[in-house]
Structure 1
Amino acid sequence: MLQVRDLHAYYGKSHVLHGVDLDLRQGEIVSLLGRNGVGRSTTAKAVMGLVHRTGSVLLDGHETVGMPAHEIAHLGLGYVPESRDIFPGMTVEQNLFLGQKGRQPGRWTYADMYRLFPRLGERANTAAGVLSGGEQQMLTLCRSLMGDPRVIIIDEPTEGLAPMIVQLVADFLVQLRESGLAVLLIEQKLSIAFDVSDRVYVMGHGNIVFEGTPAELRTDAQVRREWLEV
């Protein structure tokens, strides 16, 4: 569903990505791992068209390099940024409404969101700005789903969350896979990535330095030591 080839990304004159290749198929979770600052979040932004990029990014066979981000979203790519970016003065339900791409809802409904995260249902009429960090993370995940994506990129969804909420997010990711979505997960916690992922990529200095299964990465001590461990 998503095929990335020779992807380069730039912030002004700063060349951050140096020819990234990755693939994401329907109904799988693929994690992009690596230390902070190696280009994982930039990869997400580049795929989404939010930074200057060159190379090829195919979404269901459609070349998206050169397209603006809102057109890429309408092709079926969802993006959950690390910053969450909720609308604090609007209610939970209003935030979810803004996630829809048109007036008519897609296959995901408010009821689905409240089933996945019952706490959001309890706070449907509450201003998003007063939600806890975990609740805001639930909201931004669900808001992206309301846009009915086929592929979704999720950047550091468990950052700063309590262990109980981390498990809720992990369960949520598995349900997305079971629904047929393709999920590109950027995650710092290796335990979560190993538990939910079908495949993993490891990034170092703007390049992919490892591709394989979680089991293969577990047994590759050299890659873990050189590119993941602190």
Structure 2
Amino acid sequence: MLNVSQLHAYYGKSHVLQGVNFHVQPGEIVSLLGRNGVGRSTTVKAVMGLVQSSGSVHFDDQDISNLKTYEIALRGLAYVPENRDIFPTLTVEQNLILGQQRGKTSQWSIEDMYDMFPRLKERRHTAAGVMSGGEQQMLTLCRSLIGDPKLIMIDEPTEGLAPRIVDQVAQYLDELRKRGVAVLLVEQKLAIALDISQRLYVMGRGSIVFEGTPNDLRTAVDVRRDWLEV
């Protein structure tokens, strides 16, 4: 579904990604792990055309390397940024409506979102900017999903959230997988990544240093020590 080969990315003269290779298959959750500053967020931004990059990015057997961000999104690839990017003065429901793609029938409705996160239904007429961080995270996840993506890339969805909300997010991601949506998850919490992923990649110094299953990573003591543990 998503195949990335020899991806290089730059911020000015800084060479951040140095030949990143990975793939995501339909209906699987793949986690991208690593310490802060190794290039995980830059990787998903490069795939979405948000940073200067070079290399091969294919989605659904089409080369999307040179497309604009909105063109990539229209092909069914969604991106949930770490900073959430909600519209603070609009209500919850207005934010969700903005996630819908005109002329496209989605398998996800606003009521589906409310069923998944009942708290959003309670706050449907509330301005998004006054909600808690956890509520805003729920909203931005749902707004991306309602556009009916084939694959959704999510950057640090559990950052700063209470354990109860983290569990809800994990259930949400597993529900996506069950309904055929692939997920590329950028995450620092090793426990959640090991629990819900089918495969994992570990990044270090701008490149992939490990690929394997959760069980592979559990037994790779040296990888966890050198590239993940603080």
Alignment TM-score, normalising by the size of structure 2: 0.99
Task: Kindly indicate whether the alpha-carbon contact (under 8 Å) linking 1:29 and 1:199 is maintained by their aligned counterparts in 2.
Answer: yes
Distance 1:33 1:101 in 2: 31
SS in 2 for 1:42: helix
Q: CA deviation at 1:105?
A: 4.7
- For 1:18 and 1:147, how far apart are their aligned partners in 2? 32
Distance in 2 (alpha carbons) for counterparts of 1:14 and 1:65: 20
State the AA in 2 paired with 1:137. Q
- Residues 160-211 of structure 1 show CA distances to partners (whole Å, capped at 9, x for unaligned) of 0000000000000000000101100000100000000000000000000000
Deviation above 4 Å: which 4+ runs of structure 1? none
Cross-structure match for 2:202: 202
Distance (whole Å) between structure 2 residues aligned to residue 80 and residue 123 of structure 1: 21
Q: SS where residue 107 of structure 1 aligns?
A: coil
After TM superposition, the structure 1 = structure 2 runs for residues 76-155 of structure 1, keeping only pairs within 5 Å, are 76-102=76-102, 105-155=105-155
| Counterpart residue number, 2:41 | 41
Q: Does 1:67 align with 2:67?
A: yes
Cα distance in 2 between the residues matched to 1:104 and 1:79: 18
Question: Which residue of the partner structure matches residue 187 of structure 2?
Answer: 187
Letter in 2 for 1:171: Q
Percent identity for Structure 1 against Structure 2: 67
CA distance in 2 between partners of 1:226 and 1:104 (Å): 46
1:158 aligns to 2:158 (yes or no): yes
Matched residue pairs, number?
Answer: 230
What amino acid maps onto 1:168 in structure 2? Q
Taking the aligned partners of 2:207 and 2:14, their CA distance within structure 1 comes to 15
Q: How far does residue 2 in structure 1 lie from its aligned partner after superposition?
A: 0.4
Partner of 1:217: 217
Instruction: Between 105-114 and 181-190, report the one with greater CA deviation.
Output: 105-114
Residues 1:21 and 2:25 aligned together: no
Equivalent position SS for 1:93: helix
Q: Does 1:57 align with 2:60?
A: no
Question: What residue identity is the alignment partner of 2:9?
Answer: A
How far 1:143 sits from its partner (Å)? 0.3
Counterpart position of 1:167: 167
Question: Residues of 1 paired with 2:148 and 2:49: CA distance?
Answer: 19
How many angstroms apart in 2 are the aligned matches of 1:59 and 1:109? 25
Distance 1:60 1:39 in 2: 24
- 1:103 deviates by 5.1
**Cα distance between partner residues in 1 of 2:202 and 2:125:** 41
The alpha carbon displacement at 1:107 in A equals 1.5
2:31 is aligned to 31
Task: State the alpha-carbon separation in 2 of the partners of residues 218 and 55 from structure 1.
Answer: 31
Q: Scaled by the length of structure 1, what TM-score is found?
A: 0.99
Residue 62 of structure 2 aligns with an amino acid whose one-letter code is H
- How many angstroms apart in 2 are the aligned matches of 1:147 and 1:132? 24
Q: Measure how far apart 1:38 and its partner are.
A: 0.2
Structure 2, gaps ≥5 residues long: none
**RMSD after superposition:** 0.8
> What is the alpha-carbon distance in structure 1 between the residues aligned to residue 121 and residue 105 of structure 2?
17
Report the counterpart of residue 3 of structure 1 in structure 2. 3
Q: Confirm or deny: 8 A CA contact 1:105 1:146 kept in the other structure.
A: no
In 1, the alpha carbon distance for the partners of 2:180 and 2:104 equals 21
